[in-house]
Structure 1
Amino acid sequence: MRDHVGIAGIGTYLPRRYVTARELASSIGIDEKIIVEKFGLKGKYLPTEEDTTSFMGIMAAKKALENAHTNPEEVDIVIWNGAQHKDYPCWLACTKVAHEIGAKKAWAFDMEAMCGSMIVGLQVARSLMLVEKNVNTTLLVSGYRNVDLVNYAHRPTSFMFDIAASGAAVVLKKNYGKNVLLGISNVVDGSFAEDCIVPVGGTKKWPMRPEDLNDYYFHLTDSDTFKERLGNVTLKNFYYVIDDALKKSGFSRKDISYLAILHFKRSAHMEVLNELGLREEQSFYLEDYGHMGQNDQIFSLEEGLRRGKVKDGDIVVLVGAGVGWTWNAAVIRWGKAREPMSW
């Protein structure tokens, strides 16, 4: 069997604080029915004071290592693929994570692809592991709390009102023999690069003035055209990366057993399932979690395994997208490895 990389364990973390759709509706002035039915949100997790971005990733990492029956000192690389909105500006989360979990022999780095970071992280990790002979175990770690940067009074970004907080982590092992990463595909559209931004705090507007703190949240720079422009390309790009990742893996849509897709509005979720010829039970809708950035796919996979939706031999497709704009998909053959592996 050719060299490959498999998922040896996953871990997740949720803050203690939970807000229901009713509570959210009351605080932001949107009807509860709209939040539940249109936004597809029954409730979501919000960070408490202890839930720094790195803390949530660290807690998930410890669970992932336990799930993988892996000693932290076996980890060769720690990759932080969580949010840029971290404990401090211009700061490496990876070294903090490696220290806190006891990965004493690991080197580490941070990477970012917004909410596509988990799938891109899988691709980067696999590439390193297959090239570097002395890298056998890699830990992907993500914490996400971009909810801090969402202003519920700014209605143009209402599509972000489902954003929540969490941590997720994945342990990858070379030639693991199970849960093999197959085809991975990504596409970007830079015409959206400056459509959804935090307009202050970066080098484009520096130094900050005291009044800039009032604008430290996501804005749409052209709300009049954004929705239509994104709507014209987003589903097309979702289907492209899914089909491309499947093709690289030697499969097609008919082979999909389970779709671990990001949380977005309910109608879009159903449209994707219908287009791919999937039943509702072949996915998991994260209506009790909200959108947790790049962590969504790991929570969906965890729910799929817990509920018996993902079984040995299944073809699992992870799907994500991120502001900026990026679309991503990865294929995993769950269970015992088998040929062909044609990525």
Structure 2
Amino acid sequence: MNTRVDNEVSIGIAETGVYVPPGVETAADMAKQTGIPEEVIRQKFGLVQKHVADESMHASDMAIAAARPILERIDPLEIDVVIYYGSPHKDYPVWSCAPKIQHALGAKNAYAFEIMNVSSCFPIALKVAKDMLAADRSIRTILLAGGCKESQIIDYQNPRSRFMFNFADGGAAALVKRGETGNRILGSGFLTDGSFYDDVKVPAGGSAMPASFDTVRNRLHAIDVRDPADMKERLDSVSIPNFIAAVEKAIANSGYRVGDIDWLLPLHTKRSMFRQLLQGLGLSEQQAVYLDEYGHMSALDPCFGFHLAKNRFQPGDLIVTVSAGTGYTWAATAILWEGASVNGL
């Protein structure tokens, strides 16, 4: 627990909301579909279950559903900006869902746009929102809304994409405000290793390989890994060090040290990586949120973890949201908990 404060205008998370679709796929269900033993899915993949949306729910719908509880506590006309930060796998391939979210929520005074950096995007979105609020005094409230339906782009019959079998569906939203007194968004740290740019992608559907009968027949519209053994060899040596480097940079930019961290809110990974990350930062599992009941929801995970843990934070706690996205970018943003919990709870 920490007590350090400064004289900057406080910009923090005033409200959060999450949504999970009712459909559930258990570890046993995944075992039947993949041929992977249930115990491996539970212990290695770190999944008890995950939520899966049906054909009626899309990324935009889940982002909207996550944001709706926030509008029970704030007039939508008070929202100045709506930013979609969720999965790039949306309702349509060349389309912005931010205007749909703005319209559905009645945020008529807000302009809307999207930022996308696959799974690393929530810590980046927090920095973007903070910097916008700090730079433009006409903006007071920004809604970050994200949705994920990446369970739809998994091919359980493709062993090359096995490490992404934890993809799940959901929505998560955060309202960022100037003058928030319950918590304060602090510094961030990001790094990118672009040598991984071609390792993970959905091969078909873009300009490099337009959709065709052959791309559908050859199952090229699901996420794939070009060469899993090669990527693993290159990624294993840098992944945890880069996670830690992003966290260290965020903490240093906030005026703290790694030993000051009270909570870590990471993306959902396999259990061994989760434990390695905690060990590298000197944290216990009780100081982090592990989404083994939800799965990996692209960029949503740290926001989802914040929502789940917020009633456990104590004044002075230093919280770090951290994630990584294929390509590969590692991202972290720190938050100082200063008092009353989000949503007034």
**TM-score, normalisation: structure 2:** 0.94
**Cα deviation code 1:26-60 (max 9, x no counterpart):** 12111001100111111100011222110000011
Q: Give the alignment of 1:100-139 within 5 angstroms.
A: 100-139=104-143
Task: Give the % identical residues.
Answer: 36
Partners of 2:286 and 2:339 lie apart in 1 by 23
Partners of 2:188 and 2:305 lie apart in 1 by 18
Out of 237, 255, 258, which is 2:242 matched to? Answer: 237
| SS of equivalent residue, structure 2 residue 32 | helix
Out of 12, 19, 24, which is 1:18 matched to? Answer: 24
Which ranges of structure 1 fall in alignment gaps of 5 or more residues? Answer: 338-343
Out of 166, 185, 189, which is 1:162 matched to? Answer: 166
Partners of 1:280 and 1:109 lie apart in 2 by 36
1:83 pairs with 2:87: yes
Q: Which residue of 1 aligns with 2:262?
A: 257
Partners of 1:251 and 1:215 lie apart in 2 by 46
Out of 316, 335, 340, which is 1:332 matched to? Answer: 335
Q: Give the alignment of 1:1-343 within 5 angstroms.
A: 1-66=7-72, 69-206=73-210, 208-213=211-216, 214-306=219-311, 308=312, 310-336=313-339
| SS of equivalent residue, structure 2 residue 338 | strand
Partners of 2:78 and 2:308 lie apart in 1 by 27
Instruction: Judge conservation of contact 2:187–2:333 (CA < 8 Å) in 1.
Output: yes
Partners of 1:30 and 1:2 lie apart in 2 by 52
Instruction: Judge conservation of contact 1:9–1:65 (CA < 8 Å) in 2.
Output: no
Q: Which residue of 2 aligns with 1:341?
A: none
Tell me the number of residue pairs that the alignment of Structure 1 and Structure 2 aligns. 332
**TM-score, normalisation: structure 1:** 0.94
**Cα deviation code 1:149-180 (max 9, x no counterpart):** 11111111111011100000000101222310
| One-letter amino acid of the structure 2 residue matched with residue 184 of structure 1 | S
Question: Displacement, 1:257?
Answer: 0.8
Partners of 1:292 and 1:18 lie apart in 2 by 14
Partners of 1:209 and 1:163 lie apart in 2 by 25
Provide the alpha-carbon RMSD of the alignment.
Answer: 1.3
Partners of 2:310 and 2:130 lie apart in 1 by 23
Instruction: Judge conservation of contact 1:4–1:130 (CA < 8 Å) in 2.
Output: no
**Cα deviation code 1:263-288 (max 9, x no counterpart):** 10111111111111112111121111
Which ranges of structure 2 fall in alignment gaps of 5 or more residues? Answer: 1-6, 341-345
Partners of 1:327 and 1:76 lie apart in 2 by 29
